[in-house]
Chains A and B, each alone.
Chain A
Amino acid sequence: MNAKRLIMSAMIVCSMVAFSAGCAKKTTDAMPASATKVEISDKDTDWQNKPAPARSLSEDEMRAAQRAEAQQAVGNMIFFAFDSFELTPESRTVLNAKADALKKYSLFNIIVEGHCDERGTSEYNLALGERRAKAAQQFLNQLGINDSRITIVSYGKERPLEQGHGEAAWSKNRRDEFKIQN
Chain B
Amino acid sequence: MRKIWMLTCLLVLLFTANARATDIMSFDIFGPGQTKVNILVLPARGPNGAGSTALGTSFGNYVQSDIGYLPFLHLAYLNEILGGDPSKGLKADDIDFKPLQLGRIDLVMTIGSRGSDIEARVYETYTRKLLVGKAYSQVDAAGLPHVADRFCAQLMRVLTGKSGFFDSTLAFSKRVNGGKELFTASALGRGLTQITRDGGFNVSPSWSKDGRHIAYTNISDKGHRLGIWDRAGRFSHLRKFAGNIAISPTYTPDGRIAIALSLNGHAEIYMLDAAMRPGKALAPSWGISVSPSFDLSGNKMVFCSGRLGGPQIFLLHRDSGQVERITYEGTYNTRPSLSPDGRFVVFARLTGDGQRIFIRDLVAGQERQITFGPGNDEDPSFDPDGYFVSFASTRNGGTKIFVTTRYGDPAKQIPTGPGDAMAPAWGVAPALD
Q: Are A and B co-members of a single complex?
A: yes
Which residues of A are in contact with B by a Cβ distance under 8 Å?
A: 83, 111, 118-124, 126-128, 130-131, 133-134, 151-156, 158
Whether the Cβ atoms of A123 and B291 lie closer than 8 Å is yes
**Nearest residue in A to B248 (C-beta to C-beta)?**
A123
**Nearest residue in B to A119 (C-beta to C-beta)?**
B350
A159 to B296 CA separation, bound complex (whole angstroms) = 35
The residues of A that contact B335 with a CB separation of less than 8 Å are 121-124
Beyond A121-B348, A126-B217, A126-B245, list 17 extra A-B contacts (CB 8 Å): A121-B334, A121-B335, A121-B379, A122-B378, A123-B204, A123-B260, A123-B304, A123-B335, A126-B247, A126-B248, A126-B267, A127-B247, A130-B262, A130-B266, A133-B244, A154-B245, A158-B203
The residues of B that contact A120 with a CB separation of less than 8 Å are 311, 332, 334, 350
A156 to B246 CA separation, bound complex (whole angstroms) = 12
Whether the Cβ atoms of B332 and A83 lie closer than 8 Å is yes
Which residues of B are in contact with A by a Cβ distance under 8 Å?
A: 180, 201, 203-204, 217, 219-221, 223-224, 244-245, 247-248, 260, 262, 265-267, 288-291, 304, 306, 310-311, 332, 334-335, 348, 350, 354-355, 376, 378-379, 422-423
A134 to B267 CA separation, bound complex (whole angstroms) = 12
On whether A121 and B221 interact (CB within 8 A), knowing A130-B245, A134-B244, A158-B180, the answer reads no
**Nearest residue in B to A82 (C-beta to C-beta)?**
B332
Least CB distance from B311 to A in Å reads: 5
Q: Which residue in B221, B262, B265, B311 is a CB contact (below 8 Å) of A124?
A: B311
On whether A127 and B334 interact (CB within 8 A), knowing A83-B310, A122-B423, the answer reads no
Main secondary structure of the interface of A (DSSP, over half): mixed
The residues of B that contact A111 with a CB separation of less than 8 Å are 221
Least CB distance from A6 to B in Å reads: 83
On whether A158 and B219 interact (CB within 8 A), knowing A119-B350, A122-B422, A123-B304, the answer reads yes
On whether A127 and B219 interact (CB within 8 A), knowing A120-B334, A158-B203, the answer reads no
Whether the Cβ atoms of B244 and A154 lie closer than 8 Å is yes
The residues of B that contact A128 with a CB separation of less than 8 Å are 288
Whether the Cβ atoms of B379 and A122 lie closer than 8 Å is yes
Whether the Cβ atoms of B221 and A123 lie closer than 8 Å is no
